Amino acid sequence: MRNFNYQNKTELIFGKDTEAKVGQKLKGLAKKVLIHYGGGSVVASGLLDRIKDSLTEAQIEFIELGGVKPNPRVGLVREGVTLCKAEGVDFILAVGGGSVIDSAKAIGIGACYEGDVWDFFIQKAKVSNTLPVAVVLTIPAAGSESSTGCVITNEENDYKRSAGHPSMRPIFAILNPELTYTLPAYQTACGLVDMFAHVLERYFTNEPNVTLTDRLCEATLKTIAEQGLAVMATPNEYAGRAEIMWAGTIAHNGSLGVGRSEDWASHMIEHEISGIYDIAHGAGLAIVFPAWMQYVYQHDLGRFVQYAKNVWDIPTEGRTEESIALASIEATKRFFKKIGMPTTFEDANLPIDRLEEMADKAVENGPIGGFVKFERNAVLHILKIAAELK
């Protein structure tokens, strides 16, 4: 196990009707709040009105900025930054899923900075400070509700890049599983893949002697796979929705990665796909991860066998390590397919004529991946597997 520091200050307020507490929670923390959201469902469901009522009741001043899209754009972030500076906003409340939270986090750091907020995403500036952000979560997926980072897309050049800092963990996050009943099946499924991938990125490590975190990862993966099928089948049942919402937070709060190297190549390759084609991040991950596994499994057959046994209950007797490893990749794919996710470019109706460009961009800042390190050609190889050209 490696040396590590771990601290997660986010207060998690989990359960039924918890969004009604938001005004009270903000008391003493905020004078003027920017409520940040997407559009459609948060408005139509009446959630936004309930949030506003709660703030009004607690006598907290607020302004609004809606319009966040999946793969949140730096354009809207810049608008939010200008708004916060002009209006003297001292707190941002994100009402939505990972895209809204990430957009709010980016506005938070931008509002404390003189230059252009994109600087943080291209290593031209380092985050040191942010406006505080809190969350009312409506999509369990990104884990952004208690994580240190955010991912933003620059619509001018199709770059999708991340920034992070411990100060960016939200102050509190309200997690009410009931708010997720009405999520479209496709979005639920994208969320499942996203949280599953967050654990996989940590699980595939070269660090020996990380038994406890291995087991905690396996516990979380197994629960996502099992309860994921349950929520797809019965979207209005509290039990499964609650398990999945909690799993999404655990998957990305950092605790599963302590003391071990992590990978993250699949996320970086996926960012190139959704940066260009604007598909959902979870769908992109469902395409990339099986291809990544296919490419790397021989690097550590033992770990894939462990994954097969402990996550997928794949029988091992009388089989070679290689066949068990391959079966675990098949099981991963099968899970993604069962919940309606694409696992190839074709499944997602994506063209396959810009693979080289994606490979170039993925390694622009150097090789990627902690489990196996990739130069450009390896990335291209993985993209070709996903495009069924290999």
User: Which residues contact a copy of itself (rule: CB under 8 A)?
Assistant: 1-16, 18, 208-209, 211-213, 215-216, 218-220, 222-223, 226-227, 238-239, 242-243, 246-247, 250, 255, 258-259
Minimum Å distance from CB 244 to a copy of itself?
9
93 or 358, CB closer to a copy of itself? 93
Minimum Å distance from CB 322 to a copy of itself?
26
Integer-rounded Cα Rg, in Å, for the chain is: 20
Minimum Å distance from CB 313 to a copy of itself?
12
Exposure string over 234-253, b if 16+ CB within 10 A, otherwise e? ebeeeebbbbbbbbbbbbbb
Residues in the chain: 390
Minimum Å distance from CB 23 to a copy of itself?
16
Residue 358 corresponds to which amino acid?
A: M
In the 8-state DSSP scheme, what is residue 299? G
CA distances from 267 to 193, 262, 277 (A): 12, 12, 15
160 or 202, CB closer to a copy of itself? 202
18 or 71, CB closer to a copy of itself? 18
6 or 123, CB closer to a copy of itself? 6
Minimum Å distance from CB 376 to a copy of itself?
35
Q: Which two tokens stand for residue 285?
A: 């991950």
8 or 344, CB closer to a copy of itself? 8
Q: Which two tokens stand for residue 165?
A: 């800092």
Q: Where are the beta strands (DSSP E) in 32-132?
A: 32-37, 61-65, 91-96
Minimum Å distance from CB 213 to a copy of itself?
8
Give the distance, in angstroms, between the CA of residue 224 and the centroid of all CA atoms in the same chain: 14
310 or 343, CB closer to a copy of itself? 310
For strands 91-96 and 133-137, give the pairing.
parallel
The sign of the torsion formed by the CA atoms of 197, 198, 203, 205 equals: positive
